Amino acid sequence: MAARPYWKGQIRLALVSIPVEIYSATKSGATIAFNQIHEPSGKRIKYEKVVPGIGPVDLDEIVKGFEYAKGEYVLLDEKEIEGVKLESKKTLELTQFVDSHDIDPIYFEKPYYIVPADDLAEEAFIVLREALRRSRKTGLGQLAMRGREYVVSIKACGRGMVMETLRYADEVNKAASYFREIGDGDPDDELLDLATTLIEKKTGRFDASDFHDRYVDALKDLIQRKKKGKTLNIDEDDGESDPRGSNVVDLMAALKKSLGSGGSKPDAKKTPAKKAAKSADRKAAAKTPAKTTRKRA
């Protein structure tokens, strides 16, 4: 079955209007859904819509209401809500263009694919797409979908374009309130060199297929074992120790151990990091003479 468009309308740039269709670019991943069960009977718990003092009510008796005072509501039906006139319900007007890196990633919410609505719209669609690609700009506008108006961005994506809904400024918590307690001192140069080398060692191209939800896999395994009557000892130690150190010497040792295990070796040309690692070895050895003596004994 062909996917149904999430929104139909037109993109408008000045006097040019381009009929388009918008489709969700993502889908929900594999999840494990749990139901609430009444343990003594083994039956599923269900919920009813009830009114205090009246009891269960029919769905066709339910309308939407806005509480403007305690216990006082303005009632609205779906036709009245749908009748609210907003141009962005059918038209996405591009009102501004910015460099893509000017938008903080924290504002991006959900991506959608944009395609021309028909063959007649294709030429104008391609012109806009290539203009965005050549200028390396992102278009901004506002669009009403599913009961609210979004700020959206548009940029070229392969043969089509991708639209992303953006959060409004008042929907994003200011980072300063969370980061204010973090010190502003410079890190140790040798530790920084070691950490940088470790990052370079593990650097590669992003491929989303390299990752999968291990928690879902573990839950599926648990469910299969329970179906077969097997139990799982949740108190078992997985054998992994906490790698976090309590001081700089522990951090230095952890970084050196990380560099020495798995992956390809750092490029020989990266001499500063190698010198830093050797210097770190000497410092670590100098700080732990008693431990060295015991090993020789």
Report pLDDT digits (tens) over 84-119.
767 778 899 999 999 988 999 999 999 999 999 999
Report pLDDT digits (tens) over 11-43.
999 888 999 999 999 887 777 888 899 889 989
How far apart CA 254 and CA 244 sit, in angstroms, is 8
pLDDT value at position 154?
96
Is 32 part of a structural domain of the chain?
no
Kindly state the average pLDDT of the residues 37-61.
Answer: 89
Does the predicted model carry a pTM greater than 0.85? no
Domain extent at residue 135: 7-25+84-171
Kindly state the average pLDDT of the residues 203-225.
Answer: 80
Strand order in the sheet with 108-116: 91-93, 7-13, 16-24, 108-116, 160-166, 148-157, 137-145, 96-99
How far apart CA 92 and CA 297 sit, in angstroms, is 78
Is 241 part of a structural domain of the chain?
no
13 and 146 in one domain? yes
Q: How far apart are the first and last CA of the chain?
A: 75
Report pLDDT digits (tens) over 153-212.
999 999 999 999 999 999 999 888 888 888 888 888 888 888 888 888 888 887 778 777
User: How many CA atoms does the CB half-sphere of 137 hold within 13 Å?
Assistant: 14
257 and 131 in one domain? no
CATH number of the domain within which 112 lies: 2.40.290.10
141 and 14 in one domain? yes
Task: Compute CA 157 distance to the chain's CA centroid, rounded to the nearest angstrom.
Answer: 19
Residue position matching structure tokens 């009114």: 51
pLDDT value at position 112?
96
Is 228 part of a structural domain of the chain?
no
Any residues with CB less than 8 A from the CB of 96 and at least 6 apart, and which?
139, 140, 141
259 and 152 in one domain? no
